[in-house]
């Protein structure tokens, strides 16, 4: 796949029947996913795990790849064995699951607002961001969180990364992201509505070739 191509698959699982999906597709899941589903005791989280497995299969199949080809790096970032020109990333929040597939390393995140907690605001926003958005922290927290979370998934650092070191500039939903003041990634806000914000980041520029909302 060309580096600048990006394909996004989005599913709303608000009314999804996880048991029905499991009965239909469970036998096709990779052992690691089956183990996670088996261990999960929360019905909603279990439905999310099952639906993510189905959506991932459908997305990767379009590129001739099976979920059996997936492996994981340090900090749990997934990759496709033997494919140096195909990358994917997964995110879910609330009722939405999002999967992106690209010709370069990517990090994605979708966020639904959570109840205000000062400790969370202080973790996600640096001093300048807290000051700039002081009049409406909750509104801006969701987008900033999605951007910074996507960056940590791009680099593979995950929660070990200090979020205050990540800053960004935005122009008409396009993003330039900086790490400790140095240019580090480019990205886009690829989805937003009254609740959700979704962001994709990569090291190089890209274009959204497709944003497909799938039914499960």
216 belongs to a structural domain: no
Q: What are 37-83's pLDDT values in tens digits? A: 999 999 999 999 999 999 999 999 999 998 888 888 776 778 898 88
Q: What is Dmax (Cα atoms) for the chain?
A: 51
The alpha carbon of residue 13 and the mean position of all alpha carbons in its chain are separated, in whole angstroms, by 16
End-to-end CA distance of the chain: 26
CB burial of residue 171 (10 Å; 0-12, 13-18, 19+):
exposed
What's the structural domain count of the chain?
1
Expressed as residue numbers, the domain containing 120 is 5-207
Q: For residues 88 and 81, is the Cβ–Cβ distance under 8 A?
A: no
Q: Is residue 71 part of a domain?
A: yes
pLDDT tens sequence across 159-207? 789 999 999 999 999 999 999 999 999 999 999 988 999 999 999 999 9
The CATH number of the domain where 151 resides is what? 3.90.470.20
Q: What is the pLDDT of residue 24?
A: 96
| Cα–Cα distance, 162 to 164 (Å, whole number) | 6
In a domain, residue 22? The reply is yes
Q: Is residue 213 part of a domain?
A: no
> How many whole angstroms separate alpha carbon 169 and alpha carbon 186?
10
What the block records as the tokens of 86 is 């195909």
- Answer yes or no: is 148 within a domain: yes
125-140 pLDDT per residue, tens: 998 988 888 777 777 8
Q: Tell me how far apart the alpha carbons of residues 131 and 92 are, in angstroms, rounded to a whole number.
A: 29
- Secondary structure of residue 23 in the 3-state scheme: helix
| DSSP helix/strand/coil, 3 | coil
Query: C-alpha distances in angstroms, 80 versus 5, 132, 201?
Result: 17, 41, 19
pLDDT mean across residues, the chain: 92
Mean pLDDT of 5-32: 94
């Amino acid at each position: 796949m060309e580096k600048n191509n990006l394909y996004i698959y989005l599913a709303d699982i608000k009314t999804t029947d996880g048991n029905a999906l499991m009965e239909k597709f469970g036998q096709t899941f990779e052992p690691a996913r089956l183990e996670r589903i088996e261990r999960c005791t929360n019905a909603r989280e279990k439905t999310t795990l099952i639906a993510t497995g189905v959506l991932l299969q459908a997305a990767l199949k379009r590129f001739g790849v099976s979920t059996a080809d997936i492996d994981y790096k340090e900090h749990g970032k997934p990759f496709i064995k033997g494919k140096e020109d195909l990358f994917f990333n997964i995110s879910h929040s609330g009722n939405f699951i999002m999967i992106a597939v690209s010709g370069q390393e990517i990090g994605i995140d979708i966020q639904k607002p959570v109840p205000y907690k000062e400790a969370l605001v202080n973790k996600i926003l640096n001093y300048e961001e807290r000051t700039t958005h002081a009049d409406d922290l909750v509104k801006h927290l969701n987008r900033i969180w999605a951007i910074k979370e996507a960056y940590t998934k791009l680099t593979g650092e995950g929660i070990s990364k200090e979020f205050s070191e990540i800053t960004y500039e935005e122009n008409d939903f396009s993003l330039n992201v900086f790490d400790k003041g140095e240019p580090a990634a480019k990205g886009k806000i690829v989805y937003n509505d009254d609740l959700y914000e979704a962001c994709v980041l990569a090291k190089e520029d890209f274009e959204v070739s497709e944003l497909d909302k799938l039914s499960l």
